[in-house]
Amino acid sequence: MKSFVYDVSTKIYFGPDQLGHLKEEVSRFGKKVLLIYGGGSIKRSGLYDSILKELDGMEVYEFGGIESNPRNTTVNKGASLCKEEGIDVILAVGGGSVIDASKVMAAARYYEGDCWDFISRKAVIEKALPVVSILTMAATGSEMDKTAVITNEELHKKASVSDKLIEPAISFLDPTLTFSVSEYQTACGSADIFSHTCETYFSRDEGMLFLDTVMEGLMRTVIQCAPVAMKTPDDYDARANLMWASSWAINGFVRADKPHKWQCHALGHGLSAFYDMTHGLSLAIVTPRWMRKVLNEKTAHRFYEYAVYVWGVSGEEEEMTAALKGIEKTEEFLYKTLGLAGSLGELGIGSEHFEEMADDLVKDGPLSGYVDLSKEDILEIYQNCL
């Protein structure tokens, strides 16, 4: 077991009746609020009006139109507005993209130059405006972590920065705001939460039992609640569980003492980059193939635990038999219950970029992780995805 630092301090208001606390919390930081949002769905849903009503008496500025892959250029514009107007606090209203953009904007407000410098490590975040968020979609966990992903179109790059200074100070999690998330997006988001947890669970240093049990619980929560939320989009309990699980799957708590190499994400990023595939979908395709590849006599005990404690496979089973049943159940869940595409073939994708994708993953040597993967291993996994 490794030593670790746990440092998550976002205050969470959870529930459908918490917006009454918005003004008291936002005004702790000053009078001038910059409201950040995306494509305008918050106007159609009425959330925008509710927020303005709650913030009555404060000076509210606006910056809408954050893209689903937020650009550094957009963030820079928002940061300029913060400087010009002397903004005291940023209120991010949306999903992961809006919150990510807001976090980097909060830091760029105190920086003269392109915010991309934080991502490229040319500059270090030294100060940031406080960020308050109102979450409208459960998946990325940005509402309760210190990471933000930004896209640079000019450089064709998408990368992240992590800093305690940009962790949201306060987040409002209202499950009813996710009632309108579509069945397909709910499936992708759920696959994403499941995968965040799964990647951490299968770790070379197996770490702390207590955190294993929490991860098993996170996965059980997704397994039980995702189908309910897909079928009955306004099932409060299902939406609430997915929302709170999504924050904890990735805020650092369960990852505490584990090495951080996420192989399925690396494999999935290749697919996303070449085929513009939704993140959760690419993970759903890759994960079971990765499992079958890394399952061996040395790792079977871990897959046995996964099968028994996540999927309820009987503990009486022989280790390898139980392990395989756990993987089968994973496939059934992702491809039947969630209804996600079970292969690249279904999406009309062939093997034409596999060599290139694999080369990229092994450019600094084998892809390290739970079981180190050579270029041949990676190609085999991709082939099995067809």
- What is the binding site for a second copy (CB under 8 A)? 1-9, 11-18, 208-214, 216-218, 220-221, 224-225, 236-237, 240-241, 244-245, 248, 256-257, 312, 315
CA distance 376 to 358: 8
CB closer to a second copy out of 170 and 349 = 170
Amino acid identity at 123:
A
CA distance 285 to 340: 8
CB closer to a second copy out of 254 and 294 = 254
CB closer to a second copy out of 3 and 365 = 3
- Rounded to a whole number of angstroms, the minimum distance from the CB of residue 111 to a second copy is 23
- Rounded to a whole number of angstroms, the minimum distance from the CB of residue 209 to a second copy is 5
- Rounded to a whole number of angstroms, the minimum distance from the CB of residue 220 to a second copy is 5
- Rounded to a whole number of angstroms, the minimum distance from the CB of residue 68 to a second copy is 27
Name the token pair of 23: 């003004």
CA dihedral (195, 199, 202, 208) positive or negative: negative
Q: Are residues 151 and 71 in contact, defined by beta-carbon separation less than 8 angstroms?
A: yes
CB closer to a second copy out of 17 and 56 = 17
- Rounded to a whole number of angstroms, the minimum distance from the CB of residue 256 to a second copy is 7
CA distance 58 to 56: 6
Q: Are residues 141 and 243 in contact, defined by beta-carbon separation less than 8 angstroms?
A: no
Amino acid identity at 92:
A
Contacts of 27 (CB under 8 A, 6+ apart): 58
CB closer to a second copy out of 94 and 175 = 175
CB closer to a second copy out of 217 and 342 = 217
- Rounded to a whole number of angstroms, the minimum distance from the CB of residue 368 to a second copy is 23
- Rounded to a whole number of angstroms, the minimum distance from the CB of residue 109 to a second copy is 23
CB closer to a second copy out of 205 and 346 = 205
Within the chain, what is the greatest distance between any pair of CA atoms?
67
Contacts of 119 (CB under 8 A, 6+ apart): 72, 104, 150, 152, 157, 159, 160, 161
* Coil/strand/helix, residue 308: helix
Name the token pair of 211: 């955190």
- Rounded to a whole number of angstroms, the minimum distance from the CB of residue 131 to a second copy is 15
CB closer to a second copy out of 7 and 84 = 7
Q: Are residues 227 and 190 in contact, defined by beta-carbon separation less than 8 angstroms?
A: no
